Structure 1
Amino acid sequence: MKKKFLFVLFLIVFVQESPAQTPADTVLSRYYSYLNRTERIHPADIDQWIHTLNGKGQWPDINYRDEARANWQLLIHLKRVEELCLAWSNPQSFFYHQAALWKTISLSLNNWLANKYQNPNWWHNQIGVPQCMRDIIVLLKDTLSSRQLQEALKVMDQLRIQKNGAGANTTWSADLGLHYGALTHNLALMDSCSQIIADEIHISTGEGVQPDYSFHQHGARLQMYQYGKAFLFTNIRLAWELRGTPWAFPGNKVNILTDFLLKGWQWMARGINTIPGTMDRSASRVGELRSPDIRYLIPFLIELAPANTQAFKQLKAYQNGEGALVGFRYYPYSDFAAYQTGNFSFFLKTISTRTLPTEVGLNSENLEGKLLNSGDAYLIQNGKEYYNMMPVWNWQDLPGITSFNEACQIERKPFVGSVGNGKNGLTAMDYCIENKSGNQQISAHKVWACHKNVVISLIANLQAKNIKDTIYTVLDQCRLQGEVAVNSPDNIVKDGIHQLNSVKWIYHHHIAYIPLKPATIKLKIGKVKGRWSSVNASESDSLVTDSVFMPVMVHNGVNNNSTGYVLAYCEKPKDAQLISQTPDWKILRNDKICQAVQFKDGTGMIAFFEAGQLKTRLGLVKVNRPCLLLIADHYLYVSDPSQRGGPIKINLNDKMIEVNLPKEDTTKKIQIAR
């Protein structure tokens, strides 16, 4: 069997790279190979589709009158045809060239060619449908009748090539135009489309790849694993297809793709698992929190950019669960922080005047996500924490937010940013959340200090306006994994909703949740129910049941109140107790002007919300304007969260340091002692 497989593989490669082929034929042959190397065939589905297709070429489980703008059911029909074509065309498939399969393909394809179904959403008509039809044509080009080929090309010709600047939509449409040109021998079209694709691979502050290697679409919104995924995956495949042809990507374009992958993509996930804040409204789709999975493209990346082979293999290992990234990264163009450790990952999505709120309700998606990007914070260890929890979530109480019952929106402010040294970091947010009319409001200064398996969240100057309800901070809202202990390793809390007083620590799934001082905690543990359709109208209406762990810290006194909590990795409940009793940190200050923490190894993190001073282990620190400081390993790191840039004066133990901060890349590193 192995010899047969090797022979078939040799035959495919030989046909692809035959000297007699034109460059356009080479592109199509490589795409044919790509489809057969990457797409999985599911025999049980193939067999079912063969036996359930009716005489009209339709499947009974698809609503052929559906007009949903997001998950359009009729596109399922065409995707099934495509998968049937893969089973037909792959020599390793059990169904390879089976007569019954061909009959099903022909009948179901003819149904689409006769009806040419349309959707109210332009994307399906101009991109989604032509993409499927392109694949069908490439897989069956020599088997289709002349009429079928002609009609299939008409459907593919529904594509409309978008101008540069539309991000992933430009790439999708030009990709289609490139292959349409190859199929119709239109080399001029291939020339123009390949140029459009290459031009779209650039770094800018508009839509697409940002200077910090995050990704924006629909304005200044982080869309890493939605539109960014389409951009990256499509361009990796295209760069591989076009290598060595007249349409090959220039080297600098390939470098942008690899840098985007290694400096941005892999840092916003733990392995293959990410959080809602990295993908905006698509988080309301089933299975989307595992969109970072790029393992199937690693072989193509190695062929495309062999100089990065080791980095690609390491990325694949991380995505296989073998080890993890370690370090701190902040993405100032997207207000996103990632703290990666060997044991867990901490992700924080803030918002400022420079970024936009989440898209709520577009295409009837993200129906409950109005508070996304509001300082919500997440801990991932094994990837089960938030995966597919969306239908059972309490969207009013997202992890990490400080809120009240009627909260509806964040008031965006400029003082939002971070300072870091690659290993550790401090993120600050001038925080304000309000109800729909704006007459009820909570404001506070919030910071998150990440260092040595610990995240310290400080909340200062907590103010309330016209609010009689409870004010609270959600410490987490994740899937329940194991027992929950409170204040004692032997005090295991049962399922239910509990109002707990004088809580010193809570342990759940290797994380200790430690209030800075004994606190009132509302703790919810156990079963929750919901429906995907409640967050995304195109998803299932079936009832979903899961289990949740949700500790909520209640703020009893509000005005001018300062509080906070710690998230610390620990193996067992007794370790949580030990960390709580013998902390490795000291809160130096937590008030309106300054929030600061110092760790035992000497690392200090300071947020000045206005000019001020602070006593530290190194002496007195004074600043003449708002800023963030990190002091570690004989270096001072300075950042301007407002991204205004300009001069700042720092007096460190009577030594004056003047720093001119840039507007964009706002962190400066200064050696202070040896």
Structure 2
Amino acid sequence: MKKSFVYFIITFFLITITGCIKSNTENHLELSYPKDLKQFHKNVLDYYINLKEADKVIEDLLTNLQENGSWSTIDYTNRIRGGWPVKDHLQYVQTLAINYKNKTSTYYLDESLSKKIHKSLNFWLDNDFLSTNWHDQHIGVPELLLPILFLMENELTKEQLNKAEVLLHRARIKMSGQNKVWLSTNVMLRSLLLRKPDSVAIASRAIQGELQVAKGVGVKSDWSYHEHGAQLQFGNYGLSYLEDMIKCYTFVGNTPFKFEENKIKFLRNLILNGQQWIIWKDRYDVSASGRQLFKNEQLKKAARLKTCIQKMKVLDKAYEIAYDQALDSKILSGNKHFWKSDFHVHRTKEFYFSVKMSSKRVVGTESVNKENVQGYYMGDGVSLISTTGKEYENIFPFWDWKKLPGTTIIQDKKPLPIIKFSGFKTNSVFVGGVSNGTNGIAAMDYDRDNLKAKKSWFMFDDTIVCLGSGITSEKKEVVTTSINQAFLKGQVLIGKDDKIEINKGKQKDIEPDWILHDNIGYLFPEGGKINLSTQILEGSWNKVAKRYRPVILTEHIFKLWLSHGNQPKKESYSYILVPNASEEKMMNLHKRNPFKIVNNKEQQSVVSADEKNAGIIFYKKGISTIKGGVSVDAPCVILLEEKSDYLDFAISDPSQKLTKINVSIKGKYSIENSNYKKGKTHFVIHLPEGEQAGKTVQLQLKKN
């Protein structure tokens, strides 16, 4: 009897244990992947598991998770096109799944957390939430869902996988640029999940196919980035492109689907010759951010770019020093013109300056998904100068959008038109710049909405000379040129006839010699009707992007602009930006007149007092008195820099139409295919064509 009882107990124990093991095996299945997909699968899991969040983040998510698997913080009825908040649900599930599978997490393989992950995943799969934006269904949802499926795969039921597969199959390889990269990445990961090596290979090739200079949207020959037509999209689509390319490079590393060896060089160039130029003191240039003028976006974009650079240090170890330098914005100094994007950057260790223009070739900006709804003039010569990095940080609710820094605009009372992604080009043809790597010139023969002006920016070392001429409007309203519009920081000093006064409030039509505010000086060599305001202004983020609630905010704003009067005819302006200025520096600059300036409809030129640096914009063929006489037979921009035994000569064609320019310069110089006649050296410049049209041609004219 006793033996029978003991036998019964042992048998029952063994059956129970066997059942538990079987149950455990059913819930945590061993995953089987074909040999050629195993490493790829491991790479994907490792990538996402390493994105672990702090326990506090998980605690907060679980606090707001409701019994039915939804989050109390999400409005699931919201169908807004831009920044669709319902999608946060999948991001939350993904975060929970990552910590669940990370061995260093407090929640590693926590049974209670597993149940909540399944419940919240099922809530999405059962409801299949849809926005009104195609992007969410085809790109955003699969992109967030796929990591969850990989992380939880050994616990998923067949029913869950079947429902998820329906959502995943909305992604197809199509389109171009970053949209194609997004879609192809979704297809590649879906194919991995479904164990389809051939489809993985096709998707990998499609992604790599976008790692080349594009004729349409994508990376351009000057290392800028375009999307939605010929439109600068460094910080919107371009930054996502860089992130995703690095991610995909990591996914397929050491697998049969790995990227070709030359692709890492392409990514390196994109960072070192492109992206790193537009980050300054941990802020991303406003003008390079596309339509995404959101709260704290400059800081977020800069942080994202720095993360990319850190990852490239690991993937591209031979260039680790170059990436380290790219992480420190004060190391990069120089001048760069992005000829495919009508965008120019000038920077030193002490300041950052950029000019964003547009033309018949280049789209200035866009307003999509009710974002950037005030940005009608964002491509009209917006010129931003920064020493601290904070001058324009979150300033958008308070900007007067008809007085954007650097722009010449008709001041009518009509609401600004809301532009679409393909609807913003000016009538301007002669738009571009020249650069020798240290200094440069940006030029824009502006023509838009019955307003014309010749606008230019001469960037010489630590000063920027800003010129405008031929300002003409057929409309009756006042036309202004905005010099700057930034947060008010400290006092505003006004210098006139060796006297200095402190500005208070608002002043109209004053004629100062110079103005100093927040470490930046403004010198007025030819005077002009200067207007200054330092008032408290009201603003709202809702005015910028409709995703925000119409909450009224207030800030002290510094505004400085020139007035050209009503219906101006051939008006002009000149002012000089002096970063890291002081009272003493501004007074000395005014007294010694640092530049000789010519400023008319036919020609704009600037020569430094020591005559070592000079720049000329020929709006038509002609001759300049600079260097004793420089003549050309077609419109162009020329930059000259005097060296000990040669003259550095840089030239470009902003119209991007010419194939050659005939140049004559006084004096005898040695240059290939030149001839010396009647005291002048004559030579022909053969200009770049195709994707290189508009690029600077740089020569050394050796002195004889």
How far apart, in 1, do the equivalents of 2:588 and 2:116 lie?
Answer: 65
* Cα deviations by residue, 1:54-98 (Å, 9 ceiling, x for unpaired): 222222221111111111121111112222222322233344344
1:547-599 CA-partner distances (Å, limit 9, x unpaired): 32211122259422332111012343332232233333221x11111100011
Matched, 1:673 2:698: no
Q: Distance in 1 between matches of 2:317 and 2:34?
A: 25
The structure-2 alpha-carbon separation of the partners of 1:529 and 1:33, relative to structure 1 and needing over 3 Å to count, comes to farther
Aligned to 2:170: 158
**1:96 is the counterpart of 2:108:** yes
Partner residue in 2 for 1:433? 448
Paired AA for residue 472 in structure 1: T
Q: CA 1:91–1:547 in structure 2 vs 1: closer, same or farther (change >3 Å)?
A: farther
| Shift in alpha-carbon separation, 1:21–1:92, aligned structure 2, 3 A | farther
1:17 match: none
Query: 1:90/1:545 Cα in 2 relative to 1: closer, same or farther (>3 Å)?
Result: farther
Which of 19, 38, 60 is the equivalent residue of 2:72?
60
Aligned residue among 603, 608, 613 for 1:599: 608
Aligned to 1:359: 366
Match of 1:117 among 129, 147, 170: 129
| 1:372 maps to 2:378 | yes
After superposition, give the CA deviation of every residue in 1:289-320 in whole Å (9 maximum; x if it has no partner). 641432223343123222222111211233xx
1:337-361 alpha-carbon deviations (Å, 9 max, x no partner): 010111111110111111124222x
2:59 is equivalent to residue 34 of structure 1? no
| CA contact 1:289–1:388 (8 Å) conserved in 2 | no
- Alpha-carbon distance in 1 for matches of 2:96, 2:52: 11
Whole-Å separation in 2 of the counterparts to 1:422 and 1:369: 30
User: Which of 239, 248, 259 does residue 269 from structure 2 map onto?
Assistant: 259
Relative to the length of structure 2, the TM-score reads 0.86
Q: Identity of counterpart residues, as a percentage?
A: 27
Q: Aligned ranges for residues 244-283 of structure 1 at < 5 Å?
A: 244-283=254-293
Which amino acid is the alignment partner of residue 364 of structure 1? K
- Unpaired runs of 5+ in structure 2? 1-32, 417-423, 667-679
Alpha-carbon spacing, 1:45–1:523, altered in 2? closer, same or farther (3 Å): farther
What does the per-residue CA deviation read over 1:102-161, in whole Å, with 9 as the maximum and x for residues that have no partner? 343222222101111111211101110001101212232234444434433443333222
Residue in 1 that maps onto 2:326: 315
Is structure 2 residue 432 aligned with structure 1 residue 417? Answer: yes
Equivalent residue number for residue 389 of structure 1: 395
The letter for the 2-side match of 1:487 is: G
**What is the Cα-based RMSD across aligned positions, in Å?**
2.3
Q: Deviation digits for residues 437-478 of structure 1, max 9, x if unmatched?
A: xxxx321111100011111011112222132x3221111112
Name the CA distance, whole Å, in 2 between partners of 1:43 and 1:490: 57
* Residue aligning to 1:10: none
State how 1:621-660 maps to structure 2 within 5 Å: 621-632=630-641, 633=643, 634-653=647-666, 654-660=680-686
Residues 5-404 of structure 1: pairs in structure 2 closer than 5 A: 22-37=35-50, 39=51, 41-163=53-175, 166-284=176-294, 287-288=297-298, 290-293=300-303, 294-318=305-329, 323-360=330-367, 362-404=368-410
What are the superposed Cα offsets for residues 329-378 of structure 1, whole Å, 9 maximum, x if unpaired? 00111100010111111110111111124222x22222111111111111
Q: What do the CA deviations read for 1:632-651 (whole angstroms, capped 9, x no partner)? A: 13121111111112222222
Using the TM superposition, give the Cα deviation of residue 221 of structure 1 relative to its aligned residue in structure 2, in angstroms: 0.7
Contact 2:93 2:148 in 1 (8 A): yes
Moved more, 147-156 or 656-665: 147-156
Query: Which of 471, 480, 494 pairs up with 1:486?
Result: 494
Contact 2:100 2:110 in 1 (8 A): yes
* Residues 479 and 99 of structure 1, relative CA distance in 2, 3 Å threshold: farther
1:630 Cα deviation after fit:
0.8
Distance 1:81 1:526, change over 3 A: farther
Contact map agreement 1:324 1:340 (CA 8 A) in 2: no
Which residue, 563, 582, 593 being the options, matches 1:572? Answer: 582
Counterpart of 1:655 in structure 2: which amino acid? T
Q: Report the CA distance shift for 1:528/1:106 in structure 2 as closer, same or farther (over 3 A).
A: farther
- Could you tell me how far 1:613 is from its partner in structure 2? 1.3
Q: Distance in 2 between matches of 1:40 and 1:547?
A: 41
Corresponding residue SS for 2:702: coil
Tell me the secondary structure at the aligned position of residue 98 of structure 2: helix
Distance 2:552 2:47 in 1: 38
Q: In 2, distance between residues paired with 1:88 and 1:577?
A: 65
Per-residue deviation, 1:47:
1.8
Equivalent-residue separation in structure 1 for 2:488 and 2:114 (angstroms): 48
CA contact (8 A) 2:142 2:171 kept: yes
Contact 1:283 1:289 (8 Å CA) reproduced = no
> Residues 511-660 of structure 1: matches in 2 within 5 Å?
511-556=520-565, 558-587=568-597, 589-601=598-610, 602-616=612-626, 618-632=627-641, 633=643, 634-653=647-666, 654-660=680-686
Deviation, structure 1 residue 100:
4.5
Distance 1:649 1:526 in 2: 52
CA distance in 1, matches of 2:389, 2:522: 19
Instruction: Give the match's secondary structure for 2:455.
Output: strand
Deviation of 1:215 after TM superposition, in Å, equals 0.7
